[in-house]
Amino acid sequence: MKTKFPGSLHAAESSQQNPVFPIEAVRAAFPALNRAPQFTFFDNAAGAQVPQVVLDAVNHHLLECNVQRGGRYRKSLEVDETVARARQSVAHLVNARSANEIAFGMNATSFIRLMSLAIGRTLGKRHHIVVTDMDHEANIATWLDLEKSGAEIVWWKVRGNGSLHVDDLIPLVSSSTRLVACTLTSNAIGSIVDVAGAAKIAHAHGAEVFLDGVHYGPHGLIDVQAFDCDYLACSGYKIFAPHMGFLWGRRESLERLPTFREDFIPDEPPGKIEAGTFIYENVAGMDAAVRYLESLGKSMADEDKGQAMENRRGALERAFKAIASYEEMLSLEMIAALRACDATIYGIADEKCLRERVPTLCFSLPNLSPSKVTEELAKREIGVRDGHMYSPRLMRRLGLLAENGAVRASLVHYNTLEEIHEFGSALAEIRKTG
């Protein structure tokens, strides 16, 4: 289906590069987007909506096999199958070498903490941990806590333009470095990090790399093999699944780590990093979310060229390629809308560099507090967020008060140019009336 967007010059220019993104079909797949009253949801960085197939999978699980796994009866065996299927799907999503490298749990923060506790027990002479001041605090505080066990924290600092530059990492890594912990993409300002470049530097010194993939997950195709990282944590609920988290780890690294487990749990992944029961229905939903993304990719294949025959990973690649290109257009339009209101945009705002960001826009308006702006937008049924976005260090680095922070509008592939135009008009009105 060809989708034509009415609107500004920017939109018209960009839609030529992106003529076939099936936005209507995408929105139709998400029931929450089609409910009255009309609501513009620009707070996706805090958790996205779920497609019908995810609702169906959760529902099916709760109705048909809401039992504990590991039993010998049919329903329990079905839960085992659901978990195995979801592991395989997430393995495709992140390009893991094996499904056993995927662990399920509550959220990204608890996985990062689990890893910091385990890695903290392996420090020895390699006791330097590199963290960044651009990350979500979940990928900072968890590592800072290791100072109590002798870790020395080394800061990789964001540049004034809102980017983490790998050249700045080079002097920070040495034979004392145990780990470089950084994000793939900032949840506050949307900058994408060259994590493959960071991994090259870290590995040259024998250090490992832990990536926070939470904010990148809904926007770009994760590829742990291309990134050459050692660990990666994600939140399913940002990638169109219900509330849950997952961790990928390089099998040899996970095997070596000392984690908490009961004696009868084998010392091997994924069991050794999945203490207790996780939420099976949400894991079933995660499986369905990956399948939703695949079906988006398949729907865009050019069957004349035999592309519909591609494998699951191929379909995901196609989906994310289309998502990235569509989202670039959203970023362009958001920047235009914000500029029209004299907003200060924090992070990458150069139209030529949109590939280095996702459509997560952090900004402030002259003479209006961030909370006033979000309150006024809320009155107009537009959901955005103000504050430090759990990145108070980044806020301070950008010259903002961590208590007030900024406004963040975070879009994903189901948002539209029309919504951006409404948002732009609302901002203009708020500026006028104060």
Ligand X SMILES: Cc1ncc(COP(=O)(O)O)c(C=O)c1O
- Residues at the contact surface with ligand X, assessed by CB under 6 A: 45, 107-109, 136, 138-139, 183, 187, 212, 214-215, 235, 245
Q: Which is nearer to ligand X, 132 or 416 (CB)?
A: 132
- What is the nearest approach in angstroms of ligand X to the Cβ of residue 204? 26
Minimum Å gap between C-beta 268 and ligand X is 25
CB neighbour list of residue 231: distance below 8 Å, 6 or more residues apart? 115, 208, 209, 210, 211, 247, 248, 249, 250, 253
> In this structure, are residues 240 and 218 in contact, taking their beta carbons and an 8 Å threshold?
yes
The whole-angstrom separation of Cα 134 and Cα 346 is 12
Q: Which is nearer to ligand X, 87 or 136 (CB)?
A: 136
Residue type, 37: P
The one-letter amino acid at 100: N
Q: Name the H helices within 103-176.
A: 108-120, 141-144, 166-169
Closest CB to ligand X among residues 43, 80:
43
Compare residues 215 and 250 and give the one whose CB is closer to ligand X: 215
- What is the separation of C-alpha 344 from the centre of its chain, rounded to a whole number of angstroms? 24
Least distance to ligand X, CB of residue 427, Å: 24
Strand partners, 245: 105, 235
State in angstroms the smallest separation of the CB of 353 from ligand X. 20
**CB distance 365 to 342 below 8 Å:** yes
Which of residues 5 and 227 has its CB atom nearest to ligand X in the complex? Answer: 227
Q: What is the CA radius of gyration of the chain?
A: 22
Residue whose CB is less far from ligand X, 245 or 297: 245
CB of 70 to ligand X, least distance (A): 26
Rounded-to-integer distance, Cα 230 and Cα 363, Å: 34
Q: Is the dihedral of CA 384, 387, 390, 396 positive or negative?
A: positive
CB of 236 to ligand X, least distance (A): 8
Q: Please, which residue, 21 or 210, has the CB nearer to ligand X? A: 210
With 0-12 CB in 10 A as exposed, 13-18 as middle and 19+ as buried, what is 63?
exposed
Contact 427, 341 (CB under 8 A): yes
Q: Which is nearer to ligand X, 46 or 196 (CB)?
A: 46
CA distance linking residue 323 with residue 21, whole number of Å: 8
List the one residue out of 357, 4, 412, 381 whose CA is nearest residue 191: 357
Q: What's the CA dihedral at 148, 258, 107, 409 to 10 degrees?
A: 60
Minimum Å gap between C-beta 140 and ligand X is: 10
Min dist. Cβ of residue 109 to ligand X (A):
3
Residue closer to ligand X by CB (options 341, 406) is 406
The nearer residue to ligand X, 234 or 334, going by C-beta atoms, is 234
Count helices and strands in the chain by DSSP H and E runs: 15, 13
The packing angle between helices 280-299 and 74-94, to 10°, is: 50
Q: Whole-number minimum distance, CB 431 to ligand X, in Å?
A: 28
- Closest contact distance (angstroms) between CB of 112 and ligand X is 7
